[in-house]
Amino acid sequence: MGIVQAGKRVAVLAIDPSSCLSGGSILGDKTRMDELGRHPGAFVRSSSAGRTLGGVARRTREAILLCEAAGFDIVIVETVGVGQSEADVANMVDVFLLLIAPGGGDELQGIKRGIVELVDLIVVNKCDGDLKSAAGRIAADYHGALGLLRSTSPHWQPEVAQCSALEGAGIDEVWASVGRFVEALRSGGDLSRRRAFQLRDWMVQEVTEGVLDVLRRDKVATALTKKLETEVSARRLLLPVAARQIRDSFFGQR
């Protein structure tokens, strides 16, 4: 709320996980942001991740562009809970912030996660009550771990901040860290280079997903896929061979 109270227009794009069985999502993120969702300077939208991996939805990039075109100053992408490699969001935002809560029992495993190698800022939340001392220890552990990793930019060393969303403590300090990071990248020219890389990555991803969509709709490839699925399931055909046949069948038509 501090950002909108400062006169900034904020959009929150929250990504919900989808059920592996039904494909449905709760899409209830806005109910957890009741006060923010009712503010005239804020927009909160939940989207289903669907079959997309990486912690985001397939059209999250387009949603970011729409929010920017609509005049929002800040666009926050809240991802599905991510682990070691579900970090596609890092290739579509200016600031990649990892939010950690103490008491999860995976602090040591967390330090090993590949996602830490990509972060620009780590924020330890719930620094209050009985968890305050645990939050301090986790923050110290991550601060030490970051010193052993190569930064994503030569102009910035990732920081570890602590806050309490419940008490509102440390929020201003977190926002100040975000501001310092953006200014460091902008002055060093890394911000424009990062966005250029993101555009190239977006193009490659669109081509890949587009080819898969066309392949799924192709009647010849679909018929061959069903036939080869039986062969693979019966162990009469190796999976790589089946995949190559489907690919050659599709591209051989062109």
Higher pLDDT, 126 or 145: 126
- State residue 46's pLDDT score: 82
Mean pLDDT (the chain) is 84
Q: Which domains does the chain have, with CATH numbers?
A: 1-81 (3.40.50.300), 92-190 (3.40.50.300), 200-252 (no CATH)
Whether 116 has a pLDDT exceeding 70, the answer reads: yes
Whether 20 has a pLDDT exceeding 70, the answer reads: no
- State residue 47's pLDDT score: 81
Question: How large is the average pLDDT for residues 112-126?
Answer: 83
Q: Coil, strand or helix: which one is 113? A: coil
Confidence of residue 33 (pLDDT cuts 50, 70, 90): confident
Give the phi and the psi of residue 27 in degrees, each rounded to 5. Answer: 55, 45
- For residue 77, give both structure tokens: 């992408």
- State residue 189's pLDDT score: 92
Whether 90 has a pLDDT exceeding 70, the answer reads: yes
Question: How large is the average pLDDT for residues 129-143?
Answer: 90
pTM over 0.75: yes
How many angstroms separate the first and last alpha carbons of the chain?
54
The bridge status of strand 74-78 relative to strand 10-16 is parallel
Question: How large is the average pLDDT for residues 136-151?
Answer: 86
**How do residues 194-221 score in pLDDT, each as one tens digit?**
999 999 988 998 898 888 888 888 898 8
